[in-house]
Amino acid sequence: MNPSNASGRTLVLVSLILSVGIATCGYFASRTLYNAKVAVNTAQAKGLAERIVTADQANWTVGFSVAGKSKSEIPELYRQAESQQKQILEILEKAGFTDSEIRAEILGYSMQEYRDENQNLVDETHRLGGSITVSTSRVELVDPARAEVNKLLAQGMDISDYAPKYNFTGINEIKPAMLKEAAQNARIAASEFASNAGTKVGKIRSAYQGGFTVEDASSYKGGSSSITKEVRVVTTIDFYLTD
C-alpha cells in the first residue's frame, strides 16, 4: 500500500468526522437556543373553576320481602308481598311522585334449603319479594318519602331502603361560564409569573381543557349520596410573553 494514499484517506476520514461533529453540535446548539427562546417567551399556567350545585336527578330503590318455612305458604306469601308493594306505592304517590317516576319490578321467588352433614333436610326458607325504583328530577321529594317508607319497619316489614343516588346533569348550562373563569384564573397565574420575570402576558399560544368532574360536596369525594355537588374543571394554557 502506498503510504501517501493511506495518509490521504486518513485525512479525508478525519475531516469527515469533524464535519459531522460540527454539524451535530450546530444542531444541538440551535435546538438549545430555540428551546431557551420558547421558555423565555411563553409561560404555562393552570386555571381552576369550581361550582357548588344541587343535584337535578335522583334514583332511589326500596326493596321488600316476606318469608315462610314451607312451600305450602307460598300463596299466602304472595298475598303479603302484594300488600307490601301496594303500601309502598301508596306512600310514594302520597309523597307526590307520578306513575312515570315510579317503576315496580315483578315479584320474585327464591328458596333456600338447610341440610345436615348427612344431607338430610332440616330446614327451608321460601321468600317472595320485589323492589320499587323512583327516578325523578324532583330531588327534594326523596328524603320526606324515605322517612315515611321507613315507618313500615315499625310494622314488622322487611324493608330495604337503599341510599338514593343523586346526579347533576346540567353541566352544559354552566360549562361556558366555568371555562371562561378557568381561563381568567390561568391568566392571573401567568401574570404573576410574568411580573416576576419583568415581562407581560400576551395572547394565548395554546390551550388544553381538562374534563369536568362532578363529586359530592363533602369530605367523602367520588360518591353520589349527597344532593349537593361540586363541579370542577382545570384548563392548562400557554401564554406568549411580551416586553
Q: Are residues 92 and 145 in the same domain?
A: yes
Segments forming the whole domain that contains residue 116: 57-166
Asked which of 118, 137, 166 is the last residue of a domain, the reply is 166
Q: Are residues 231 and 185 in the same domain?
A: yes
Domain CATH code at residue 223 = 3.30.110.170
How many whole angstroms separate alpha carbon 154 and alpha carbon 157? 7
Phi, psi of 159 (to 5 degrees): -110, 135
61 pLDDT exceeds 50?
A: yes
Gyration radius of the chain over CA positions? 36
Asked which of 166, 191, 216 is the last residue of a domain, the reply is 166
How many whole angstroms separate alpha carbon 135 and alpha carbon 132? 10
Helix (H, G, I), strand (E, B) or coil at 129: strand
Q: What is the mean pLDDT of residues 222-232?
A: 86
Q: How far apart, in Å, do the first and last CA atoms of the chain sit?
A: 66
17 pLDDT exceeds 60?
A: no
Q: Are residues 61 and 31 in the same domain?
A: no
CA distances from 147 to 89, 95, 140, 163, 229 (A): 14, 10, 13, 12, 23
Mean pLDDT taken over the chain: 83
What amino acid is encoded at 140 in this protein?
E
Domain CATH code at residue 114 = 3.30.70
Asked which of 110, 143, 166 is the last residue of a domain, the reply is 166
Q: Could you give the number of structural domains in the chain? A: 2
65 or 5, which is more confident: 65
Q: Tell me the per-residue pLDDT of 105-136, one tens digit each, with 9 for 90 and over.
A: 999 999 888 878 888 877 889 999 999 999 99
5 pLDDT exceeds 70?
A: no
How many whole angstroms separate alpha carbon 188 and alpha carbon 48? 11
Q: Tell me the per-residue pLDDT of 127-169, one tens digit each, with 9 for 90 and over.
A: 999 999 999 999 999 999 999 999 999 899 999 999 999 999 9
C-alpha dihedral (237, 240, 241, 243), degrees to nearest 10: -160
How many whole angstroms separate alpha carbon 153 and alpha carbon 156? 5
Alpha helix locations (H) across 71-170?
A: 74-95, 142-150
Smallest CA-to-CA distance from 134 within 154, 159, 106, 162 is with 162
pTM, full prediction = 0.72
